[in-house]
Structure 1
Amino acid sequence: MQLLALGLNHNTAPLSLREKVAFPADQIGQAVQAARVWFGNDGTSRIGDEAAILSTCNRTEVYAASDLPGGADAVLDSTAHFLASYHNLPYGDLRPYLYALPQGDAVRHAFRVASGLDSMVLGEPQILGQMKDAVRQAEAAGGLGTYLHQLFQRTFAVAKEVRSTTEIGAHSVSMAASAVRLSQRIFDSLAEQHVLFIGAGEMIELCATHFAAQNPKSITVANRTMERGEALAHRFNGRAIRLAELPAQLASFDIVISCTASTLPIIGLGLVERAVKARRHKPMFMVDLAVPRDIEHEVARLNDVFLYTVDDLGVVVQTGMENRQAAVAQAEAIIETRVQSFLHWIDHRAVVPIIQDLHDSSEAMRLFELERARKLLARGESIEVVLEALSRGLTAKFLHGPQQALNHAEGDERARLAVLLPQLFRTRR
C-alpha cells in the first residue's frame, strides 16, 4: 500500500486555475466516493483503497492510500484525469500544475500543511480546522482506512506540537490584518468608511474583527441566510442585509470584503460599474478572499476600484520572513522526527500480512498434528509414543519449507538463506 498526496496549490497554480478545481464544501463527500471509484479502475471502490480531499482557497489536494500499479507518475496522471473529468476541464490544462508526493514526501507534506508551513500565510491557524473538516467528510464518505486514519491522527498531533512548542503562530500575519493594511493605503482613516462583509464564515468573522478594531463608520453583513448574517452583525454593532439587496446597496459601501462558498461570482462587472457611477467615482476598496472568486476579475480594470484577491494578499503577508526563520527551523525539525516515526510504523504494517500468514500456516500444522495425536491415543498408543510423534511431526513441518528453499537455492540466494535461517530459527552452528 502506497501513501500519496496529489494536487495543486498557490505555489504551483494561478488562482484562475485553482478556482476551477475547488470542491464546494457540500460536494466533498461525493467527490471522495467518486475518487475511490475512479482509482478502483474496475468501476467499484476496492477494499483498501482510501481517499480524502482537501479543498481550500490555497489548494486542492487528494490524499490517497492505494496499491495502484505504475508508481507516482501513473497515479499523478490518473489524478489529473479524475480532476479534469470531475470539473469538466481539459486534461492538458491541468496536468502541468499538479504534483505527486509518494510515501515519505506525502507524510511530510501533510504534516507541513497542517502546521501552517505550506500556507500562503506562514503559520496561519485556519488550515488545521479545514483539514479536520476534510477528514471528517472523508470518514463519513467511507474514504478513510487504516493508513489515512493513522496519517491524519498523527498529522493533527504534529500540528499541535509545532504550535505549542514553537513560535510559528506568533509570527503569522493574517489575511484579515493584511486587508486592513491595504485599505489604509487607499483611505487615510477608516473612521469615515462604510464597510460591507459578504458571507458569514470563519474568514469573514476574522476580517470583521480586524476592521471593527479600526472603528469604521458602519459595518454591514450581507449573507444568504439572514439569521447567520444578523448574528455576526450584532457582534460588531452592525446591521445585516440579504444578498439579494446588494444591487441596490453596493454603492453605499467604501470597503467590500467577500468570502462565500458560491461556485459562481456574486458581484459582476456591470453591478460594480453602476455602483461606481452612483458614487461619483469615489474610490472603492474590494477584497475577494473566495475560491472560486466572488467578484468577477474584470472588475479590477475599473479606474476607481481597488480589487485584491487572496493571492494579492498572500504577497503582502510574506514580508518579514527573516523574523520567522528560527521558528520554521524548529518546526521542520519536529516534523522530520515525526515523519521518520510514521514511516517506521508503515514499515511494520507492511509485514503484518506475512506474520498473519505465518500464524495461519503454523496453526494449520498444529491442528493437523494434534488430530493425528488424538487418533494415536484413541488406538491405545502410550502417551510417551504420542508425544514423541507429535513433537517430531511439528518439527518436520516447520522445517520443511526452509529446507526446501535452501536445497533449491543457488549462489547468492543460498548464501543469504544460510545466514538468515539460523537467525530466524535461533539455531547455532
Structure 2
Amino acid sequence: MTVIALGLNHTTAPLDVRGRFAFPGDQLVPTLRAFSGRLQRAAEVAIVSTCNRTELYVGSAGGDARGLAGQALGWLAEAGGMAANDLQPHFYVHEDAGAARHTFRLASGLSSMVIGETQILGQMKLAVREAGTAGTLGTTLHQLFQRSFAVAKEVRTGTEIGMHTISLAAAIVRLAGNLFEDFGELKVLFLGAGEMAAPVLAHLAARAPRQLTIANRSLERGEALAAHFGAEAIGLADAMTRLAEFDVVVSCTASPLPVIGLGAVERAIKARRRRPMLMVDLAVPRDIEAEVAALTDVYLYTIDDLAQIVQAGGDRRLAAVGQAETIIESGVQDFVRWLGTRETVPLIQALQTQAESWRASELQRARRMLAKGDDIDAVLETLSRGLTQKMLHGPMAGLQHSDGPERVALTDTLSRLFLQCPMRAPR
C-alpha cells in the first residue's frame, strides 16, 4: 500500500496561485469524486482545502507513487485553470513515512502560518467527513488521519506548543495599534461568517472596539454570529454603502470573486476625508481587489502579509516544537509499521483459506471413517497425521528443492517458525 500527500501551501505558493485551487467545503464531495475518477488504481482520496493550503491525499494498492503524483498534478492544474508546468514549482509530494510526517505535523499545528493553532484540526476533520460521504475514504487514509488526530492531541497535552502563539486576530490588533491611538474608539467591520470568523471576532470583541459590525451574505447567519459578540449584523450590500464608517475592515468570505472593489474603497476614503483605513484580507481567493493597496490612505494586508508578525514566539516555543517533533516521529514509525502489515494482508488471507481447506478436508474424511464404525482413536490419529502432513508438505518440499543461500534463508525461517531450539543449515 502506498500513501501520498501532495499539494501547495503558503510556503510554496503565493496568495494569487493558492486562490485558484481553493475548494469550498460544500463542493468537496463532487470534487473528491471527480478527482478519484481521474486516478488509476487509486483506492482512496481526501482533500484538505484551507486559505493556506490545498492538499490531496491518496492511498493506492498499486504502489506507483510517481505515477499517481503526476496524475494528481495534472488534475489539480486543470481544476485551477493553470498549466501543469506552471504549477509544478509550487507543488510538493510526500510518500509513506514522509506523508505521515507531513500529516502529523499539519494536525499538530507545526506547518501552519500560526505555529500551534488549532483551527486546522477542524478543517482536517471536515476533509475526513466529506471523503466518507463521497465514498473515497478507505482504511488506510482513515488510519492516517485518525493517527494524526491522536498525535496532535498528545502534542497539545504534552508540550507547550499552543501557549506561545500569536494569532491572526492578535496581529490585526497589533497593526491597528500601529495606525490608531485607541482601539476602543475604532469602528470595526468584519465580512463573512465562516469557520474562521468566530476566533477572530472573539479576539477583536475582547478589545472592546467602539462598534463591531458583521456583514454576511446570509443575514440570518450573520445575526446568529453577532449575537455571541454583542455586534451589529448587516448584509453585504449594506456594508458596501456604509464602508466609509469603518476604521478597520477585516474580510474573510468564501466568495470566488472580490467583494470589495477599488471604486468602493476610493469613495469610502473620499467620504472619510482622507482619514486612514486598515483593511485586512484573510480570504483565499482575495476578497479585496489588490489595486486597493495603492491607495494613499489605505493600509491593506493579506493573509500572507501577516506571516512575519505571527511567527514571533521566542525560545520556549522553539523548545516546544522540538518536543512535538519527537512525538510526531514516534507516531510516524508506528504508522509505517502498520502500513507494512497491510502488505501481508493478502498472504494472511490466503494462508487462512488454505488452512481452512485442509481442516475441512480432514474433518470430512474423519466423519466418513466414523460413519463406517472405525475406532475413534484410529480416526483421531488419522486426522492429526493428515493435518500435520498437509502443513509440513510445503516447507519440506521447499527444503528439498533449494540449495545454497536460498536453503540457508529457508532453514532459518522454518526454525524460527516451527522449532523452540532453532537449527541452522550448514553454510
Short-chain TM bin: over 0.9
Deviations 1:123-152 (A, max 9, x none): 111111111122111112212221122222
Partner of 1:26: 26
- With over 3 angstroms needed to count, the CA separation of the structure-2 counterparts of 1:213 and 1:373, relative to structure 1, is closer
CA contact (8 A) 2:282 2:303 kept: yes
Using the alignment, how far apart are the partners of 1:385 and 1:240 within structure 2? 89
Using the alignment, how far apart are the partners of 1:376 and 1:165 within structure 2? 65
Partner of 2:383: 390
Q: 1:184 aligns with which of 177, 180, 184?
A: 177
Using the alignment, how far apart are the partners of 1:98 and 1:410 within structure 2? 50
Per-residue deviation, 1:60 = 0.9
Q: Does 1:60 align with 2:16?
A: no
Per-residue deviation, 1:427 = 6.6
CA contact (8 A) 1:221 1:241 kept: yes
Per-residue deviation, 1:286 = 0.3
TM-score normalised per structure 1: 0.92
CA contact (8 A) 2:20 2:81 kept: no
Q: Does 1:297 align with 2:290?
A: yes
Is the deviation greater in 157-166 or in 344-353?
Answer: 344-353
Is the deviation greater in 284-293 or in 384-393?
Answer: 384-393
- With over 3 angstroms needed to count, the CA separation of the structure-2 counterparts of 1:392 and 1:216, relative to structure 1, is closer
Large movers: runs of 4+ above 4 Å: none
Deviations 1:69-100 (A, max 9, x none): 433x3222121012112233211121221111
Partner amino acid for 2:214?
V
* Equivalences for residues 255-404 of structure 1 within 5 A: 255-404=248-397
Per-residue deviation, 1:341 = 2.1
Per-residue deviation, 1:179 = 0.7
Deviations 1:341-386 (A, max 9, x none): 2222223333233222111101101211222233334444444443
Using the alignment, how far apart are the partners of 2:317 and 2:121 within structure 1? 19
Using the alignment, how far apart are the partners of 2:36 and 2:80 within structure 1? 16
Partner of 2:106: 113
Is the deviation greater in 23-32 or in 410-419?
Answer: 410-419
Is the deviation greater in 203-212 or in 257-266?
Answer: 203-212
Q: Does 1:6 align with 2:20?
A: no
Partner amino acid for 1:30?
P
Deviations 1:135-194 (A, max 9, x none): 111112212221122222221121112112211111111000001101111112223322
Identical amino acids, percent of aligned pairs: 54
Per-residue deviation, 1:395 = 2.2
CA contact (8 A) 1:262 1:292 kept: yes
CA contact (8 A) 1:190 1:216 kept: yes
Using the alignment, how far apart are the partners of 1:347 and 1:172 within structure 2? 37
Partner amino acid for 2:154?
E
CA contact (8 A) 1:178 1:316 kept: yes
Partner of 1:51: 45
SS of equivalent residue, structure 1 residue 367 = helix
TM-score normalised per structure 2: 0.93
SS of equivalent residue, structure 1 residue 303 = coil
Unaligned 5+ segments in structure 1 are none
Using the alignment, how far apart are the partners of 1:182 and 1:361 within structure 2? 70
SS of equivalent residue, structure 2 residue 306 = helix
Using the alignment, how far apart are the partners of 2:176 and 2:312 within structure 1? 17
Q: Does 1:131 align with 2:118?
A: no
Partner amino acid for 1:88?
G
Unaligned 5+ segments in structure 2 are none
CA contact (8 A) 2:109 2:115 kept: yes
Using the alignment, how far apart are the partners of 1:24 and 1:255 within structure 2? 26
Partner of 2:211: 218
Count residues with an aligned counterpart: 422
- With over 3 angstroms needed to count, the CA separation of the structure-2 counterparts of 1:249 and 1:419, relative to structure 1, is same
SS of equivalent residue, structure 1 residue 144 = coil
Per-residue deviation, 1:273 = 2.1
Using the alignment, how far apart are the partners of 2:297 and 2:168 within structure 1? 23
Using the alignment, how far apart are the partners of 1:113 and 1:128 within structure 2? 8
SS of equivalent residue, structure 1 residue 169 = coil
Partner of 1:151: 144
Partner amino acid for 2:305?
D
Using the alignment, how far apart are the partners of 1:57 and 1:64 within structure 2? 21
